[in-house]
């Protein structure tokens, strides 16, 4: 074996070559060794694929740091061990999967391992959106669940999201306790792959109908939809699971002019028409935008492979189609919901909205103006779900979201829900049109009332072991070297969520960031500048990336100033990114 490999990598390779793994796996590893593929061997074996506090995600292939039968089996065995240790009586789990390559295979392995450990499994008979899995857990009285997906990652990835009994991704103490049980699995021989078919029940359309009822319940203005039933909607599932339910949901509500992008309608794990199956990417939305231009549509929406994120586009006053970012759409949804709830006399002082700490602060401002609480959580919908769970029966959740294109309306689902969001985005577009406005006009109106907030994001990908070390160093540098000025403005506060402290840079005073209600220690740093700008740095918990968020704002006096104000804010964001060495 190559001398260029470190000791742990060599140990893991030897364990897989000598252990109880199938012959095809061993042959693939041996060829990598014989061909001296040091980089590939290191990245595949330098560690175990981390089962983090929400699950795991990684490239598919052989090795301890890859998604394959054995890493999925070990994760599920640890999950099953934990459930059997802490729960009594009949234990039930629900399992869903997306359109990615190997997703049905990994889902069946998980079902087999759970059932082999005496746990009853409800397994979807075909691909389904992640939010439906969240709904199903509570609907069928399950104690847990999982969905096989890598969300919007490139085609070579797959993953595994773990859920608890309230339909949210696992949170403390279960998250760390499950991780501990997974870590205990030291040998493939500890994994029981021999399933019990008697404990596996296939589910599908019956659950679909119940889930769709919750989306109908979310609708606020059905009369508006009736008047705007011919609203021209373009929808793309980007080869993912959204095709199973999004068109049905829109038609159920009364939208009769839904135009599906046929080139992307077929589920396909190779995602042949896009580079990345991510509605945050303009390239992934291009076919939908082209169709919108052809038919002069009112709205473009597209969902990612597991249909928990949605991207949207709208025509601006110049007649050009433009994408709305996640902050803009989250804001529009909340703006519409707050206005509708107020008009209906439903705001009693016990309602709330929830969002993440890196999501636009215009939502905080809008909530404050309406006397509605806005809870800020760590990044990840499991933290928003934790707030909903903690306040259930005390306060009522209206809606919320995060900047990365994930939104939630109502509390029937406890994860971001692109199916329900597509329905709500279509409804608010119909509402705007019913009032003689476009969705762009609606956005402009929101900014004129609350200020024009603009957010810039730079996401740096750092793959492999060297990349992980580089990300760690970048965060250490930020903690140890706060710049004196950024784009001419002085930093006045540093929020360090790793040790849950807020430091006033002018007085030196350090105060605690309260733990609880969606807040715990996390490797995130935020700089608040004297002019109201906020800069956040956060390593991704699911991808080899570090993300830098910049939020700026300015007044918008009249609609004609939209583009000039936007350009000025973009210049400011660019200058901030340059000063921080990100460009």
Same domain, 426 and 463: no
The set of catalytic residues is: 151
**Is the pLDDT confidence value at 294 over 70?**
yes
**Same domain for 51 and 176:** yes
Cα 436 to the center of its chain, rounded Å: 33
Q: Which long-range contacts (CB under 8 A, 24 or more apart) does 481-486 make?
A: 482/527, 483/579, 483/580, 485/579, 486/527, 486/529, 486/533, 486/535, 486/576, 486/579, 486/580
Same domain, 393 and 265: yes
In the block, residue with structure tokens 């995602």: 271
Banded model confidence at residue 461, pLDDT cuts 50, 70, 90: confident
- Same domain? For 436 and 465 the reply is no
Residue 34 within a domain: no
Report yes or no on 467 lying in a domain.
Answer: yes
What one-character DSSP code corresponds to residue 559?
G
Q: How many Cβ atoms sit within 10 Å of the Cβ of residue 557?
A: 10
First to last CA, the chain: 41
**Do 432 and 532 share a structural domain?**
no
Residue 266 is inside which H or E element, if any?
none
Q: Is the pLDDT of residue 390 over 60?
A: yes
pLDDT in tens, 427-437: 999 999 999 99
38 within a domain of the structure (yes/no): no
- 108-117 pLDDT, tens digit each: 999 999 999 9
Q: What is the pLDDT of residue 1?
A: 60
**Do 137 and 238 have their domain in common?**
no
Looking at residue 217, its pLDDT comes to 95
Mean pLDDT value of segment 469-489 = 84
Cβ atoms of residues 103 and 146 within 8 Å:
no
Element (H, E) at 148: strand 144-148
What pLDDT, in 10s, does the model give residues 192-247? 999 999 999 999 999 999 999 999 999 999 999 999 999 999 999 999 999 999 99
Task: Count CB-CB contacts under 10 A for residue 118.
Answer: 14
Residue 210 included in any domain: no
- The rounded radius of gyration (Å) of the Cα atoms in the chain is 24
- Using DSSP's 3-state secondary structure scheme, residue 158 falls into strand
Q: How many angstroms from the chain centroid is the CA of residue 18? A: 38
Residue with tokens 């994120």: 309
Backbone angles phi, psi at 506, to 5 degrees: -85, -35
Statement: residue 581 has pLDDT above 90? no
Instruction: Kindly report the CATH number assigned to the domain that includes residue 324.
Output: 3.40.120.10
Mean pLDDT of 378-395: 93
Pick from 97-101, 331-335, 577-581: least confident: 577-581
pLDDT at 50 over 90: no
Same domain, 498 and 524: yes
**Which candidate, 445, 423, 425, places its Cα nearest to that of 436?**
445
Q: Are residues 412 and 538 in the same domain?
A: no
CA–CA separation, 24 and 19 (whole Å): 13
Average pLDDT over residues 281-304: 96
CATH number of the CATH domain containing 539: 3.30.310
Q: Contacts by 559-568 with C-beta closer than 8 Å and gap 24+?
A: 559/317, 559/441, 559/444, 559/448, 562/317, 562/444, 562/447, 562/452, 565/452, 566/452, 566/454
pLDDT at 472 over 70: yes
Tokens of 275: 């580079």
Which of 203, 238, 261 terminates a domain? The answer is 203
pLDDT at residue 509 is higher than 90: yes
In angstroms, the CA 51 to CA 558 distance is: 50
Tell me how many domains the chain contains.
3
Count of beta carbons in the 10 Å neighbourhood of residue 354: 29
Are 354 and 423 contained in the same domain? Answer: yes
**Domain boundary residue, one of 450, 485, 505:** 450
| Comparison of pLDDT for 478 and 575, the residue scoring more | 575
163 φ, ψ (degrees, to nearest 5): -125, 155
Note the pLDDT tens digit of each residue in 122-170: 999 999 999 999 999 999 999 999 999 998 888 999 999 999 999 999 9
3-state secondary structure 295-360: HCCCEEEEECCCCCCEEEEEECCCCCEEEECHHHHHHHHHHHHHHHHHHCCCCCCCEEEEEECCCC
**195 shares its domain with 245:** no
The predicted-structure confidence for 170-179, as pLDDT tens digits, reads as follows 987 888 899 8
Asked if 574 and 525 sit in the same domain, the reply is yes
Domain that residue 323 falls in: 223-450
The pLDDT tens digits of the residues spanning 58-79 come to 999 999 999 999 999 999 999 9
Per the domain annotation, does 429 fall within a domain? yes
**Pairing assessment for the beta strands 310-315 and 321-324 based on DSSP bridges:** antiparallel
Q: Is residue 561 part of a domain?
A: yes
Mean pLDDT, range 305-316, rounded to an integer: 96
Q: Shortest CA distance to 286 belongs to which of 276, 427, 306, 242?
A: 276
Q: Does position 541 have pLDDT exceeding 80, yes or no?
A: no
Calculate what percentage of the chain has a pLDDT beyond 70: 99
- Name the phi and psi angles at 416, rounded to 5: -60, 145
Q: Which of 436, 149, 135, 136 is nearest to 267 (CA)?
A: 149
> Are both 400 and 528 inside the same structural domain?
no
């Amino acid at each position: 074996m190559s001398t260029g490999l470190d000791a742990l990598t060599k140990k893991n390779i030897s364990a897989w070559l000598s252990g109880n793994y199938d012959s095809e796996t061993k042959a693939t590893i041996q060829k990598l060794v014989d061909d001296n593929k040091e980089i590939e061997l290191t990245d595949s074996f330098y560690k175990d694929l981390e089962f983090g506090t929400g699950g795991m995600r990684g490239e598919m292939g052989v090795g301890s740091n890859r998604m394959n039968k054995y890493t999925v089996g070990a994760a599920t065995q640890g999950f099953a061990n934990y459930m059997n240790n802490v729960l009594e009586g009949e234990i039930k789990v629900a399992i869903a999967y997306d359109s990615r390559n190997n997703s049905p295979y990994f889902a069946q392995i998980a079902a087999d391992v759970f059932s082999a450990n005496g746990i009853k499994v409800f397994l979807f008979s075909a691909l389904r959106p992640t939010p439906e899995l969240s709904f199903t857990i509570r609907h069928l009285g399950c104690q847990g669940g999982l969905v096989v997906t890598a969300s919007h990652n490139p085609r070579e990835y797959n993953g595994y999201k773990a859920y608890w009994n309230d339909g949210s991704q696992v949170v403390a103490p279960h998250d760390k306790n499950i991780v501990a049980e997974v870590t205990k699995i030291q040998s493939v021989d500890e994994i029981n792959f021999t399933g019990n078919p008697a404990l596996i029940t296939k589910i599908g359309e019956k659950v679909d109908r119940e889930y769709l009822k919750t989306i109908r319940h979310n609708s606020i203005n059905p009369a508006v939809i009736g008047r705007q039933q011919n609203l021209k909607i373009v929808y793309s599932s980007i080869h993912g699971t959204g095709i199973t339910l999004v068109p049905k949901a829109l038609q159920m509500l009364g939208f009769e002019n839904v135009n599906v992008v046929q080139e992307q309608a077929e589920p396909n794990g190779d995602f042949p028409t896009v580079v990345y199956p991510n509605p945050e990417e303009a390239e992934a939305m291009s076919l939908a935008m082209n169709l919108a231009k052809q038919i002069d549509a009112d709205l473009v929406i597209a969902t990612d492979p597991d249909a928990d994120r949605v991207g949207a586009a709208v025509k601006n006053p110049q007649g050009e189609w433009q994408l709305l970012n996640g902050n803009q759409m989250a804001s529009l949804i909340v703006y519409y919901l707050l206005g509708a709830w107020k008009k209906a006399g439903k705001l009693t002082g016990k309602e709330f909205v929830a969002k993440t700490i890196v999501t636009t602060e215009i939502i905080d401002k809008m909530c404050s103006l309406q006397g509605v609480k806005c809870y800020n959580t760590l990044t990840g919908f499991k933290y928003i779900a934790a707030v909903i769970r903690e306040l259930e029966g005390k306060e009522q959740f209206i809606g919320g979201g995060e900047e990365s294109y994930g939104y939630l309306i109502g509390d029937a689902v406890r994860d971001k829900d692109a199916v329900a969001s597509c329905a709500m985005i279509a409804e608010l577009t119909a509402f705007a049109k019913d009032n003689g406005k476009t969705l762009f006009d609606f956005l402009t109106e929101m900014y004129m009332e609350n200020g024009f907030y603009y957010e810039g994001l730079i996401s740096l990908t750092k793959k492999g072991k060297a990349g992980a070390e580089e990300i760690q160093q970048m965060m250490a540098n930020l903690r140890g070297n706060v710049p004196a000025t950024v784009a001419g403005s002085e930093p006045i506060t540093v929020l360090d969520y790793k040790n849950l402290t807020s430091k006033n840079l002018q007085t030196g005073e350090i105060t605690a960031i309260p733990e609880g209600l969606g807040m715990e220690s996390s490797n995130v740093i935020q700089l608040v500048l004297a002019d109201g700008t906020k800069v956040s740095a956060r390593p991704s918990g699911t991808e080899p990336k570090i993300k830098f968020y910049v939020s700026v704002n300015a007044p918008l006096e009249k609609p004609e100033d939209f583009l000039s104000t936007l350009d000025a804010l973009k210049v400011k964001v660019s200058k901030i990114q340059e000063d921080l060495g990100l460009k």
